[in-house]
Structure 1
Amino acid sequence: MNRPTSHDPHASLVARYVDPEDADGVDDDAVRRRVGLVESVRAGRRWWDANADEYQVEHGDFLGDARFTWCPEGLDEDRVKLLGPVEGRTVLEVGAGAAQCSRRLLARGAFPIALDLSLRQLQHSRRLDAEHGTRVPVVQADAGRLPFADASFDLAFSAYGALPFSPDGAGIMREVFRVLRPGGRWVFSITHPIRWAFPDEPGPEGLTAVASYFDTTPYVEQDHTGRATYVEQHRTLGERVREVVGAGFRLLDIVEPEWPDDLESTWGGWSPLRGRLLPGTAIFVCAKD
């Protein structure tokens, strides 16, 4: 699950990254430009492999080792049950990170498989398994090319994984549809699209729109050679709905979690101030008939 920390007006959802191979030590430039699929996948793999350790240290307490939370608002799957019954079900987690969500499903009697593009994130999953005596099967792969046979899973989900970083969200939807069995459910959370119009700041400066919600040009951080080191994609709410429906899913619900009264912590641009005025997360609940 990814969260904003940058102070750029069109901020990335994660901290700025200086590629270790950049000898001059100059920070990456942030731009808005189109990025192809190969460049985007390469940047995503490199970024997460380089930053997985810091991410797990910074956010590990909130995520827990075996907790299923959909978003910075702390919406817990144990309470809302957006996936429906999970006991005895085969479940695919797309963009799993350290597979905290899958580990919780394992405790609830499901049979999860956690997939992520980053090897380093999956190594953290192995570390947590060793610490807790669990075993979540993990697969390193691109969400746009799932290495599974048709109709392999009963359920699939993604908590801020894969979709925000791929220029081919529609392709990911089609792949998930392919590997789900009829009657299956696909649930995913992303940054609420309206957030792209606002600075990614937790304070009052994050309450004034400064960019067009309709501008879907990707946010890109690139090194001094122009190579993308981090890429994030924006789609309007309508575009995400069309990706879902175009893949063959039936859209059951869009959940916009409210900020809890008892949550006073911030996570990047997510904060009590902003969360009580603006939606921060959108969760799409989809079914394969």
Structure 2
Amino acid sequence: MSGDEGRAASRRWWDHDADNYQEEHGAFLGDVDLVWCPEGLREADARLLGDVKGARLLELGCGAAAGSRWLVGQGADVTALDLSAGMLRHARLAAERSGVHVPLVQADALALPFRTGTFDTVHTAFGAVPFVADSEALMREVFRVLRPGGAWIFAVTHPMRWVFLDDPGEGGLMAVHSYFDRRPYIEEDSAGVPTYIEAHRTFGDRVRELTAAGFVLSDVVEPEWPPGHEEVWGQWSPLRGRLFPGTAIFVARRPSTT
């Protein structure tokens, strides 16, 4: 699939699914909160972004931008970006409900409309990275807009989950697919037009993408399923989450210049 086909499919999908997504997950994500993953890891506890007071941040694939609004409360200067007008519509509605407003930008993560060295930190919780065909180019683009010493933190589906079916029950405990099959998952309509795309990269692929772009990888967080958390989110469930990881959060930094 070409980059243009993937971009068009993602825009259509998230525009069409925005209402359903917010209805299903909006309460879990909140209006003013940064939740990294279905395991429920919150930035208020994890502090993966560090002290953001006075820093300039960019959230890629922000969705309804709950995380960006939370960061405003921590003293950050935040811009929220998404490809989907449907998701940004929900960001505006949540801003009206909460009274916390952030600048919203509709743009492609592979062509960020910002000058080189604009941000101290770029982050995303399951936005952009899994849905682009050329994630190497995305890493380079994020590197470009970061200032020297800036941080890049992104959460994605744990690569090993590609081996299993998207089944939160016992059917999702059996290894079915090859971990090394990097062909994207694609859904099509009756006319054969792609409607949804999600790309797979191995753990090693992610590391090589980061280092090739110039980043230094400092940590990978694999959140454990917390006791008492019984909510099912797609393929994420207490049954699977207690056995193997569902999320990987990569923490990297653009080196400082001397």
Q: Same fold (TM over 0.5)?
A: yes
Structure 2 residue identity aligned to 1:233: A
SS of residue in 1 equivalent to 2:187: strand
TM-score (norm 2): 0.98
Map residues 3-42 of structure 1 onto 2, 5 A cutoff.
35-42=1-8
Aligned partner of 2:74 in structure 1 is 108
TM (norm. structure 1) is 0.87
User: Are the equivalent residues in 1 in contact too, given 2:32–2:98 (CA < 8 A)?
Assistant: no
1:122 is aligned to 88
Q: How many residues align?
A: 255
* 1:163 partnered with 2:129: yes
Match of 1:237 in 2: 203
Equivalent position SS for 2:133: coil
Q: Does 2:73 correspond to 1:97?
A: no
Correspondent of 1:194 among 149, 153, 160: 160
Letter in 2 for 1:45: R
Distance 2:34 2:99 in 1: 18
Q: How far did 1:224 drift?
A: 1.9
1:55 aligns with: 21
Q: What is the Cα deviation at residue 162 of structure 1?
A: 0.5
Return the match for 1:220 from 171, 186, 198: 186
1:243 shift after superposition? 0.6
In the alignment, is residue 260 of structure 1 matched against residue 226 of structure 2? yes
> After the TM superposition, which residues 263-278 of structure 1 pair with which residues of structure 2 at under 5 Å, given as runs?
263-278=229-244
Measure how far apart 1:257 and its partner are: 0.5
**Which residue does the alignment assign to 2:52?**
86
DSSP 3-state at the match of 1:257:
coil
Distance (Å, rounded) in 2 between the aligned partners of 1:182 and 1:84: 16
Question: Does 1:77 pair with 2:43?
Answer: yes
Give the residue type in structure 1 aligned to 2:124. Answer: S
Code of the residue aligned with 2:11 in structure 1: it is: R
C-alpha distance in 2 between matches for 1:210 and 1:69: 30
Tell me the equivalent position of 1:174.
140
Q: How far did 1:208 drift?
A: 0.7
C-alpha separation in 2, matches of 1:262 and 1:86: 30
Equivalent-residue separation in structure 1 for 2:179 and 2:79 (angstroms): 35
Give the drift of 1:203: 1.1
Give RMSD over aligned pairs. 0.7
2:205, 2:100 → 1: CA distance? 39
Gaps of at least 5 residues in structure 2 are none
Partner of 1:149: 115
Within 1, Cα distance between the matches of 2:32 and 2:103?
14
Give, in angstroms, the shift of residue 156 of structure 1. Answer: 0.6
Alignment partners' CA distance in 1, 2:94 and 2:218: 34
CA contact (8 A) 2:30 2:66 kept: yes
Map of 1:140 onto structure 2: 106
Deviation for aligned residue 1:134:
1.6
Match of 2:32 among 66, 83, 95: 66
Q: Which moves more between the two structures, 126-135 or 252-261?
A: 126-135
Cα distance, 1:183 vs structure 2 = 1.1
Q: Whole-Å Cα distance in 1 between the matches of residues 19 and 99 of structure 2?
A: 21
Structure 2: which amino acid aligns with 1:287?
R
How far apart are 1:247 and its partner, in Å? 0.6
Deviating beyond 3 angstroms after TM superposition, the runs of 4 or more aligned structure 1 residues are: none
**Structure 1 stretches of 5 or more lacking a match?**
1-34
Q: Report Cα offsets for 1:8-27 as digits up to 9, x if no partner.
A: xxxxxxxxxxxxxxxxxxxx
Per-residue Cα deviation, 1:113-149 (whole angstroms, up to 9, x for no partner) = 0000001111111111111212110100000000000
Q: CA deviation at 1:204?
A: 1.1
Measure, in 2, the Cα distance between the counterparts of 1:261 and 1:134.
32
**3-state SS, counterpart of residue 112 of structure 1:** strand
* % same residue: 56
